[in-house]
Structure 1
Amino acid sequence: MTLPVPPWEQRAPKRRPAKLPLSREAILAAAFRILDAEGLDAVTMRRIADELDTGPASLYAHVANKDELYALLLDQAAGEMRLSEPSAEHWQDRAKEFIRELERVLVSHKDLGRAALARIPTGPNSLAASEALLALLRAGGVPDQDCAWAADILSLYAVAHAYENGLHLLQAGGEEAGIAYVAAIGQYFRQLPTDRFPNIVELAGLLTTGDGDVRFEFGLDLLIRGLASRAADAKRDHG
């Protein structure tokens, strides 16, 4: 016969907080929390399931696999971009601002830029961003074929730069360690044999000067000026 539990040994039943209904939105929110704290490598189905207090198998009813998860993360991030209206007069400035905005959004989510490499954007927010960039370039008179290829090249430039910046954010030591590393590289370049590497030795100081933002703006200016030059040539040839 089972005896009753004495009152002084009784425990109130533990009440677990009610789970939020599992959905694609909840999965993405959890994935972004992990991504922003620890980087893309930490974003796994198992880790998201732990975050949501469920099993990994339950996630697959809402997200097919990690590849789809990355696509959804990128598309949601694209929705954070501030997009400008096309302008024939200010197209170069607005095209530059588009690329800065894409880089900013990706860097704000650590190394999310890695997920964008070798991926053609097809989500609604990504398509809206691509449409905006094409409109900016066409408004400036950039030839259509140049627009089509430039949209890819400009975006790739922002993605690659964002990925590198994201890696720097994840590395131990942060900005100070990065500055020390570049200084050490400059010193190493100066010590190379001048008969084999005369240009590297002579330009050692210049090769290692300028922070990431300065170099990003330099490259962006090169790209947009090149497009502007080609647009001017096309206008002259068809004028």
Structure 2
Amino acid sequence: MDVPTPPWRTPRKIARQQLSQDLIVRTGLRILDEEGLEALSMRRVAQELGTGPASLYAHVANKEELLELIFDEVVGEIEVPIADPARWRDQLKELCWHMYRVLGSHADVGRLALASIPVGPNAARVSEAFLSIMLAGGLPPQVATWGLDRLYLYVTADAYESSLFLAKQRASGLELDSWADQFFGQVRTYLSQLPADRFPSLTGNVDAMMRGDGDKRFEFGLEMLLRGLDSFRD
């Protein structure tokens, strides 16, 4: 039976969680998801954990390393297949889509891979899968390694752009569909009002330019890249 603590006893302090690199990374990822990259700092993570920033440095060297660890934590959610030469294009497409979905589910995470080379164990596992699939499909090593670089950049950049659109939508206070109708409606109006004598290709193809959502465009770009890679096969 619960009874109150006698007033002459010192109340027990709630035990803090034992600091670890894993706890710091998971806390940083939660801040990133909820508040965005601009809100993430070593001080902010320390505040969330009820400690001082100095105590974090025994586990994480600096913010740059924290961002690398957060990215690798997210990439750990990506499932990778065993390379099948007969399905190499389908496997690449499935892997790219899975990576795109995972990165898109975490705000700003795609941005962490830009202008850097992800080298964590999970990133290496995904890179190994990409490369193994392309080599099994008959792509020369140089083409496969450059293909890995281009596919990685395509997926991460597209995921990051999607997160920017979502940030704009949230800041507007509108529901996603309402914001999209308003934003892209303004783009359509602007393109339609360009002088047709100076911009005949743009004004004559507004419907085609505005057709298709982000997923359809991602699929198109992916197919374009895969067809290009296919042309290099031995």
Given the two structures, how large is their TM-score scaled by the length of structure 2? 0.91
CA distance in 1, matches of 2:83, 2:99: 17
Kept in 1: contact 2:72–2:122 (CA 8 A): yes
Gaps of 5+ in 1: 1-9
Out of 170, 179, 188, the position equivalent to 2:181 is: 179
SS of structure 1 residue aligned to 2:60: coil
Could you give the per-residue CA deviations for residues 37-57 of structure 1, whole angstroms, max 9, x where no partner exists?
Answer: 122222111110011000011
Deviations 1:90-121 (A, max 9, x none): 10010011111111111111111111101112
Q: How does 1:52-63 map to 2 (within 5 A)?
A: 52-63=49-60
Contact 1:40 1:111 in 2 (8 A): yes
Whole-angstrom CA distance in 2 between matches of 1:121 and 1:40 = 17
Equivalences for residues 32-71 of structure 1 within 5 A: 32-71=29-68
Q: Among residues 88, 97, 100, which one is paired with 2:97 in the alignment?
A: 100
Note the C-alpha offset of 1:169: 2.5
Which residue number in structure 2 is paired with residue 4 of structure 1? none
Please say if residues 110 and 166 of structure 1, whose CA atoms lie closer than 8 Å, have aligned partners that are also in contact. Answer: yes
Paired residues of 2:26 and 2:70 also in contact (CA < 8 A): no
**Separation (CA, whole Å) in 2 of partners of 1:185 and 1:78:** 34
Q: Supply the AA of the counterpart residue of 1:188.
A: Y
Match of 2:112 in 1: 115
CA displacement, residues 9-44 of structure 1 (integer Å, 9 cap, x when unaligned): x68644331001111011011111111212222211
| CA RMSD in angstroms, aligned pairs only | 1.4
* 2: CA distance, partners of 1:178 / 1:63: 40
Aligned residue type for 2:149: D
Shift >6 Å, 4+ stretches: none
Matched, 1:195 2:197: yes
Matches within 5 A, 1:129-140: 129-140=126-137
Give the gaps of 5 or more residues in structure 2. Answer: 1-6
Q: Distance in 1 between matches of 2:166 and 2:43?
A: 24
Cα deviation digits, residues 155-201 of structure 1 (max 9, x gap): 10000011011122222235221232112101110111011111110
Q: Percent identity?
A: 45
- What is the identity, as a one-letter code, of the residue corresponding to 1:161? D
Question: How many residues of Structure 1 are paired with residues of Structure 2 in the alignment?
Answer: 223
Distance 1:101 1:190 in 2: 36
Deviations 1:190-214, CA, capped at 9 Å, x for gaps = 1110111111100111111110000
Aligned mate of 2:75, from 75, 78, 98: 78
CA contact (8 A) 1:111 1:165 kept: no
Q: Does 1:22 align with 2:19?
A: yes
CA contact (8 A) 1:183 1:208 kept: no
CA contact (8 A) 1:30 1:51 kept: yes
Are the structure 2 counterparts of residues 150 and 192 from structure 1 closer, same or farther at C-alpha, using a change threshold of 3 Å? same
Secondary structure at the aligned position of 2:16 is classed as: coil
